[in-house]
Chains A and B, each alone.
Chain A
Amino acid sequence: MRTNAVPLLVLLVLAGPVRSYGQNATVNNDLVFGDVFPGIPKMITKYTPGAAAEFYVSGTAGAEVTIDFTLPTYMDASGYNMQLLFREDDCAMDSSATPDQTNPGHDNLDPWHTITYRLGSSGLTIWLGGMVVPRLNQKDGDYTAAIVLTIAYTGN
């Protein structure tokens, strides 16, 4: 019994440090367009600190995750709509220890499709830009829309 149990106890000790941690996604910044003029589309690029959307994902370093956005096509204000566009290169991310929004490690990603990436030792920071297209007679007011980010481990 003693000779068989020791390797198993060693295995238990080893299992502790390598156990998987759940990933966690937090919001650092909304996608903020600020003042918009009727008839004049306004774009916020993913490189714009403080205006582009920013998510931070933590989890097991090196683990592969899938990243899915649920993107709105309109913003709303008291029943009035305003078109919201996302292009196929409006997303960027960086898993380095010092994420750089102006020069991200992984750029021009398509937020309309599943993105697969590995978490870094400092997690993963994701940025998203977009464009609003107000009509010439767009009703004035404060418009909002929800953008949902879903993160899941692939198991790889």
Chain B
Amino acid sequence: MPHRNQKAVGLIGVLLIMLVVPNIKAQEYATIHATATVIPALVVIGENDLIFGTVFPGVDKTVDKATVGFAGEFSIQGNNLAEITIDFTLPDSLMHEDSLSYMRISFTDIDASFEDGTGGGQSAPAGIINPLGPSTENLGAAGQMTIWIGGMVEPGITQTGGDYIGDITLTVAYTGS
């Protein structure tokens, strides 16, 4: 009789283990994905120099931003309607190519303009930009923008004759908005 009891206890013990053990999982995994869409990088191209042409000593000369073929022109391509910052680095002088002579150049706060597809082009642009400080605009519906800049050179009465040149740099960047 005690022997039969021991067998019963053993069987029940095995049953207990079977009830418990198969329901335990050692590990469980789950995988998600991190996803991101990188939009196109900005591309800026200098399309046209700011050309003053022939300048007479002692006579200031202005090129308006609306003057086709003479105003400086940049084209920007990026993501549709993305907000960008626009920042000019402007020279205060043009340097003589063959000597240390220089000629003053100046810009006003209305000397630049932009077209994003909502205006009428260079002669009737979508808006005015202050080239003296950074500004914020949105690219057009196709991700495009054209920027024009004018300015004024101020040759002295004894200005050395020759060709003068200076760099105008446009820096654009996404704001992230």
Contact = CB atoms under 8 A, between A and B. Distances in A.
Interface of A: 1, 4-5, 8-9, 11-12, 15-16, 19-27, 29-40, 42, 53, 55, 57, 72, 75, 77, 82, 84, 130, 132, 134, 136-153
Interface string B10-42: 001001100110011111111111111111111
Given A37-B174, A75-B34, A5 B8 contact: yes
Most chain A C-beta atoms within 10 Å of own C-beta, residue among B8, B12, B26, B175: B12
Interface of B: 1, 4-5, 8-9, 12, 15-16, 19-20, 23-42, 79, 82, 173-176
A106 B19 CA distance: 34
7 contacts: A19-B20, A38-B41, A38-B174, A77-B38, A144-B36, A146-B33, A149-B29
Q: Which 10 A-B pairs have the closest CB atoms?
A: A22-B25, A33-B36, A25-B30, A37-B174, A31-B34, A38-B41, A40-B176, A140-B40, A152-B27, A151-B28
Given A4-B9, A27-B31, A20 B41 contact: no
Contacts of B174: 37-40
Contact of B35 (A11, A37, A144): A144
A134 B79 CA distance: 15
Most chain B C-beta atoms within 10 Å of own C-beta, residue among A15, A38, A143: A38
Given A22-B28, A132-B34, A147-B31, 7 more contacts: A1-B4, A26-B30, A35-B39, A39-B174, A40-B175, A40-B176, A130-B34
Contacts of A53: 32, 34
Contact of B34 (A5, A137, A140, A147): A147
B20 A20 contact: yes
A75 B31 contact: no
Contacts of A1: 1, 4-5, 8
Contacts of B39: 35-38, 140
A30 B24 CA distance: 28
Given A22-B23, A22-B24, A35 B37 contact: yes
Given A12-B12, A15-B19, A42-B176, A32 B41 contact: no
A146 to B, nearest CB: 5
Nearest to B13: A8
